[in-house]
Structure formats: structure tokens, C-alpha cells
Amino acid sequence: MRKRSIVAGVAAVVVVACLGGLAYAWQPAIDPVKGDDAGGRGSAARLETDPAVLAAGLRVMSQGDCLYCHTAKGGKPYAGGLPMDTPFGTIHSTNITPDVDTGIGAWSLDAFTRAMREGVSRDGHLLYPAFPYVHFTRMHDEDIAAAYQYLMSRTPVDAPPVPNALVFPLNFRPLVAGWNLLFLDKGPLPDAPAGASASASASASVSASSSASPGASSSASSSASSEWRLGRYLVEGAGHCQSCHTPMNIVGAEARGKAFEGGVIDGWQAPPLNALAAGERPWTKAQLVSYLRTGVASEHGAASGPMRPVTQHLAEAPESDVAAMATYLLSLSGPANDVSPAGRQGNDPAPVSNPAPVRNPAPVSDPTLVSDPTLVSDPVLVNAAQLRAASGPEQERVSRGAVLFASTCAGCHGTAAPMMTIGGRPSLADSSNVLAGTPRNALRMILEGNPWQGSTSAHYMPSYADLLTDDQIVDVAAYLRVQVAVRPAWADAASMLTTMRKENEKK
């Protein structure tokens, strides 16, 4: 009898939990906005025309890289339709233009805010967490309102949603309610600047402090703390950096206790952000700001894959915002770089960066360019004859890669190449992709390159997916890793490349 009572009690708890979950899964619809133009294609919401408000909205949209995810390749801005591959299937981004029928034109600010904070659409259905509302919920009302007004000022586009292709039962949206109960922490980030206008004030105070007298240590300390708070707000809120730079757990949520430890997104490795100011080749604040705003840091490499559009949109944000983000990210490396209120000692702010070590690679020669290898000295090109003298399959691979590099890549990446004089192009000896512990990004870069965008100021590299065989790509990667970066060979490059080719075939 006692056992039956226990079983019945457990069953009752399960039933109540399921009913509670279903109740949480169904949210009420918010009435559509009504206005004189509600029957047309444009927004029925009242438009804000104040340039300052629209500028604040653009600032938020730039911080969040919203345009990239909500614009399909070759599509209209913000009209959605971009496919996003996940371990559970493909999700397509939605139309967030002010079109009444297919976009958010009938959404009130309350409906928009609920979507940003709780992941619930205007009509009450739950949004998939591919939309990073777990981070947007940390934003203040002023910034959410500014983003809303900016979107409502865009050109409406008639773009019906593209159906998702998720595996069963994950295509049943009410299940997201359980996910939210476990992983959604609603509400603005505590102790953060109160909205876009306050963020601007915080940025201004930080800029002003940089020209203060040397004796104003208290003011400098306060401004460093303000910059750190602003940086945390932007990184963990609108910027949602953890979404890509944190490993995912089995249900697609950010793994607890592993924030900023790196992840994989669209087949690219998103590197850890919690050791930028530490290690053998630390980033400085100036380098990180340059990278985030231009996509290039000559001491570390160039942005590629899904990080490239992030840098392009951060270029539209105030430099003070990006500087604050850099300050916060560098503080994640440990106490020596921590300028947060808890990390500071006394009145003096801790340094936020360390000088990068100077690398002086020994000059080597390229026998494929001249008959006498001793006549040519180049830290990127290598003496293939010397490599051939070495033994072992890996050394043979490196030797073949050296010849391929000289004939295929050195025209742009050789030290004396004209391309190296444009826009602070980084040496491959300093490339984060080549120095990484995994060959993923180096192989992706050779396969996909960086698409041409019509300007010599934007770094470009052609795709070699159809020009080189798999063996040739692995050979070049081995040469870059072993001889140029002077690092141990990647053991899994060939198998990883095979997997990448299969992934590309599915796209």
C-alpha cells in the first residue's frame, strides 16, 4: 500500500508539472497595433522621427549584429529567411521589417519587448532560442525601445516566413517552455548603464577621463569601472557574445560554468574569450578594438566566417562602445586585467592589457623562386630542400605544402607581396587560425576564403575548395602550422577536412 502511494504521488507530481509546463507554453496574444495605415503594407505603429532616437536604435542594432541574421543571402535588409543550421535541424530567421502581414508592422512596443525579454511572439507562440533572447533580456527598456523605433522606420518588405526543418519532437514549439524554465533568466543586467542615453554618457565620461591630469586617480578609477560596466552590458546583452563563444550543452543551451570558453558556429571555431590578455601572445586593448572595428589586427589575424559581419557592424557603433567591450573582455583573463569594481584594489585602475611579445622568425629561403635558395630570405617562405631532407610522413607533407604555398599563396601572403602592404594585413606567422590548437579555422579559410565585397579596404581571399584537392589543402595547412607558426602538427586535419566537405555538400 505504501509503495502504491509513493508511485501515485510521483505520478501526480509529474502530471502537475506537465500541466504547469503546458500552461507556461501557451502565452496570450497581444493585440495588433491599429492605425490609419493598418490595411496597407507599412507599419500601423506610430513612427518615431526624432533623429536622436533613430541613431540610438541603429547603435543598438549595430551592437547586436541584427542585420546579418535577419537578412538572407541576396535578400532585402531585415526581411529574414537566413537559414541557420543547428544540431536539431535548420531554423530560418524571421522578417523584422515593419510589414503588417509578414513582419512586425502590427507589433506594439509591448509585444516587441516581450519577444526580446521572454522569447514570445506577438501572437503568443514561443520563439526558438536561436533568437538570443536569453541575452536580449538583459537589455534596458530604453535600448529595446530604440531598437523598436529604428526597425519601424525601415522599409516594409513582404516576405512570408520560410518554414523551419527541425527534427521531431523539437519542431513542437511548446517544448521550448521547458527549455526556458531551465535556462532563461529574465530581466535587465543588474548594475548596468540605464539604456542607450546612459551608455552614451558613460562612454563620454570614459573618454573625458583619458585626458585628465595624472593626479586624478579617483576619477580614472571611477571611469575604468564605468567602462567595465558598459562593456559587460554590451557583451552580455545586445552583443550576445556568449551565444557563439560558449560551448553548447546537449539541448542547445550555453553550458553552465563554461562562459566564453569557445564554441563552434557555422562550422567555424569561435575561440575562447576568457584568456585574451593572457598566454603566449596576449591581446592589447588597442589591438582588440582595431580587430572588432576593422576585422583586422596585424598582430593576430583577420576576421573570417561569421565573425566578419560582426566586425563590419561594430564599425558603425561608437568607438567608445567597442573600447568598453574590449575592456570587459580583457578583464575575463584574470585579476591582473580585471578593472571591475570587485577586481580593483585601492583607487588605481588595473591595466587592461599586456604588451604583445615581439616575434622574430628566422629568415628562410624559397627554392622555387630562384635557382640558389640562399639568395632569397623570407620569414614566410621555407627551404623545401631542407624539409625534404627530413624524415617522416608529416615532414614530407610539410615539404609538399611549402611548394604549394610558394606557387599558390605567396603572391598575396609572402612577406614581400604587395597585398601585405594594404590595410595592415597580418603575417600568417601571427595568424590566430594557424596558431590555434585545432585546424578547423585554417581549413575553413582555405576552403571558403573571404568573399569579395567590392573594396580593397576589406580583406579578401578566394575560395580554394574547387582548386585544391583535399591532400593539397592538408599539405598547405601542415606547412603553415609546422614551418611558419613553428607549432606541432595537427593530428586530425585530414579527417576534419573530410567532415567539412560533407557538411558543405549538405548546404
Residues tagged in the binding site annotation: 66, 69-70, 241, 244-245, 409, 412-413
> Per the annotation, where are the binding residues for heme c?
66, 69-70, 241, 244-245, 409, 412-413
Cell of 219: 576619477
* DSSP sequence for 209-247: HTTS-TT-HHHHHHHHHHHHHHHHHHHHTTT-THHHHS-
| 89 DSSP β-pair partners | 86, 166
User: In 391-407, which positions are buried (b, 16+ CB within 10 angstroms) versus exposed (e)?
Assistant: eeebbebbbbbbbbbbe
Work out the angle between the directed axes of helices 195-209 and 217-236 (0-180°, nearest 10): 140
Query: Are 416 and 378 a contacting pair, CB within 8 Å?
Result: yes
How far CA 412 is from CA of 37, 132, 379, 417, 484, in Å, comes to 55, 38, 14, 5, 15
Cell of 297: 589586427
| 80 DSSP β-pair partners | 71
Cell of 8: 501515485
CA 487 to chain CA mean position, Å: 26
- 78 DSSP assignment: T
Residue written as cell 589575424?
301
The total number of residues written for the chain in this structure = 507
What is the rounded distance in angstroms from the CA atom of residue 388 to the CA atom of residue 386? 5
Burial environment of residue 103 by CB neighbours within 10 A (0 to 12, 13 to 18, 19 or more): buried
| Strand ranges for 106-187 from DSSP E | 165-166
* Nearest CA among 288, 266, 314, 256 for reference residue 65: 314
Query: Are 388 and 258 a contacting pair, CB within 8 Å?
Result: no
| Signed CA dihedral, 266, 272, 273, 278: sign only | negative
What is the rounded distance in angstroms from the CA atom of residue 411 to the CA atom of residue 401? 15
Torsion angle (degrees, nearest 10) of CA 115, 119, 124, 127: 120
What is the rounded distance in angstroms from the CA atom of residue 65 to the CA atom of residue 313? 6
